[in-house]
Structure 1
Amino acid sequence: MKHDIVLDSLPKLDDTYLLTDKQIQSYRQTGHIALRGVASPEEVDRYEPVIQTLVKEHNQHTRPVHERNTYGKAFIQVGNLWEMSEAAKRFVLARRFAKIAAELMGVDGVRIYHDQALFKEPGGGHTPWHQDQIYWPLDTMHTITMWMPLVPVSEEVGSMTFASATHRAGSLSKELISDESHRTFGSYIEAKTIETVNYGALSAGDATFHSGWTLHSAPGNPTDTMREVMTVIYFADGTRALEPDSNARRNDLNRWLPGVQPGELAASPLNPLVYKRN
């Protein structure tokens, strides 16, 4: 494929990023963490053009930002780039990233749920408060998302904002990402006086990790540059699929766990095992 001409020269990303006990405990306490230099600037420079090209090719938006609804204004969203390109596959399935996910969650192995490029355009809107796992038919508390900018993210744009320790409660509402979810969860955070954390400016290759149940949002993009972010969602090996209790989860079961029935192991061909201890 044209995206893979230089595949043999791309970094393999299969070495280990060392976590401290303090970092692991902090993540488990709060449900989120920022880690610096998960990928080096040189590594990101090699993969960014591949991901950017795929996003341009698969961008489904046909209207300018100001004519879209709240969800559409939030970002250009392209899923499972690893299916589209061997180069993107090397990045998404990287052992280095997967091992971090497993160690933060305290599990022996992790599988991919799916990846997503989330590019917030100049003038792009905020991402409303939400919980990711309301979409996922996964019978586990052990889910985690890596959110990695491929370009520097300035203080003006910022990273995501997390509501600390909300992952411990599990599902708080069935609200999908919307203006209503922003109002509902914003009121909940205020009423409970929950601490919120934004890690501010990030360099390309830094990454945040957050639990599937951690409430989070993101500010809009008031700058004239694209906020390019790549995400990878992991879940614990051995997890079983849930009976979908919403159309969103039914759609996710069909798309991201093809052929898997409720109660069966979540281990379709789209969910490769990307890290196993020992």
Structure 2
Amino acid sequence: MAIQTDYAQLPSLQSDYPLSPEQIASYQRNGHIKLAHVATPDEIAAYEPIISGVVRERDYHTKPVSERDTYGKAFIQIGNLWQLDEGAKRFVMARRFAKIAAELMGVDGVRIYHDQALFKEPGGGHTPWHQDQVYWPLDTPHTITLWMPLVPVSEEVGSMTFVDESQKLGYMSRQAISDESHKTLGSFIAGKQLPTTTYGALAAGDATFHAGWTLHSAPGNPSETMREVMTIIYVADGVRIAEPDSSARQNDLRAWFPGLAPGDLAASELNPLVYKA
């Protein structure tokens, strides 16, 4: 069962997190950045039980990790927690996080595309190389994902690995996250000797942000503890929906933009405006 909480007593997550011009320039150059202490220990202590409770309640896996395919081994994936629990909604709608996303992208406002809890179980497999935006029916560079651990992530488990400046390559492949994407994109990265960055161990409440086209992967979890991560995907306010060119994008159009069509503003009832300058 999800944790029952007095939601009015939860931290508001409304205060500003100041970014320097150098941090914004670094993100826009490299397509990714790590920011320390985006949420405080007290804030994480309040929200982690709520989010992990929703994940436990909604976990759809019935097979042990060893019997799943590559995608299933990678993580427990639960989407749109903001619709499932009022406490999770306060976290996802946080002005602080949304303002960081807008300022990193250099836009005036951002909407939620969707959120996802990505919990990598003990013994969980790697997350193959991929670009998030192959799934999204959006023709814009102005998408960004916040990736925040709710528990400390050790060096052994590690955070994601990003290919520096790969967002500038744009739409490289329609391949979904799979063994094939890992092989194809891994060969491309190695062949071109593209530089990569990994931020290693992270504290609970630290966060990475990466662009929708940034190539990235994540290692498996050899530890005995769950790697609990919450993600929030933002899209700039005013972006329009693109014509889906794959079944994955058609599925996302139906799931995350209900009632909308190509050419419409990416602003259904599932895509609330969470920050405007």
Partner of 1:97: 97
Q: In the alignment, is residue 169 of structure 1 matched against residue 139 of structure 2?
A: no
Deviation at 1:4, TM superposition (A): 4.9
Partner of 1:156: 156
Deviation at 1:184, TM superposition (A): 0.6
SS at match of 1:234: strand
Q: In the alignment, is residue 42 of structure 1 matched against residue 42 of structure 2?
A: yes
Q: Kindly indicate whether the alpha-carbon contact (under 8 Å) linking 1:167 and 1:213 is maintained by their aligned counterparts in 2.
A: yes
The AA in structure 1 aligned to 2:74 is A
Distance 1:65 1:237 in 2: 39
CA 1:90 to 1:136, structure 2 compared with 1: closer, same or farther past 3 Å?
Answer: same
Q: Kindly indicate whether the alpha-carbon contact (under 8 Å) linking 1:3 and 1:85 is maintained by their aligned counterparts in 2.
A: no
CA offsets 1:54-80 (integer angstroms, 9 cap, x no match): 001111100000000000000000000
Alignment of 1:187-202 (within 5 A): 187-202=187-202
RMSD after superposition: 0.9
Partner of 1:58: 58
Partner of 2:142: 142
Alignment of 1:1-278 (within 5 A): 3-277=3-277
Deviation at 1:5, TM superposition (A): 2.9
Gaps of 5+ in 1: none
Distance 1:2 1:60 in 2: 15
Distance 1:169 1:272 in 2: 29
Deviation at 1:100, TM superposition (A): 0.2
Distance 1:269 1:3 in 2: 26
CA offsets 1:103-136 (integer angstroms, 9 cap, x no match): 0000000000000000000000000000000000
Q: Kindly indicate whether the alpha-carbon contact (under 8 Å) linking 1:4 and 1:86 is maintained by their aligned counterparts in 2.
A: no
Q: Kindly indicate whether the alpha-carbon contact (under 8 Å) linking 1:4 and 1:85 is maintained by their aligned counterparts in 2.
A: no
Distance 1:2 1:104 in 2: 33
Distance 2:193 2:136 in 1: 27
CA offsets 1:115-171 (integer angstroms, 9 cap, x no match): 000000000000000000000001211000000000000000000000010101111
CA 1:2 to 1:236, structure 2 compared with 1: closer, same or farther past 3 Å?
Answer: same
Deviation at 1:199, TM superposition (A): 0.0
Deviation at 1:6, TM superposition (A): 1.4
**TM-score under structure 2 normalisation?**
0.99
The AA in structure 1 aligned to 2:164 is S
Distance 1:142 1:4 in 2: 36
The AA in structure 2 aligned to 1:157 is V
SS at match of 1:197: strand
**In the comparison of the two structures, how many residue pairs are matched?**
277
The AA in structure 2 aligned to 1:256 is W
Deviation at 1:98, TM superposition (A): 0.1
**TM-score under structure 1 normalisation?**
0.98
Distance 1:26 1:16 in 2: 20
Q: Kindly indicate whether the alpha-carbon contact (under 8 Å) linking 2:2 and 2:53 is maintained by their aligned counterparts in 1.
A: no
Q: Kindly indicate whether the alpha-carbon contact (under 8 Å) linking 2:71 and 2:178 is maintained by their aligned counterparts in 1.
A: yes
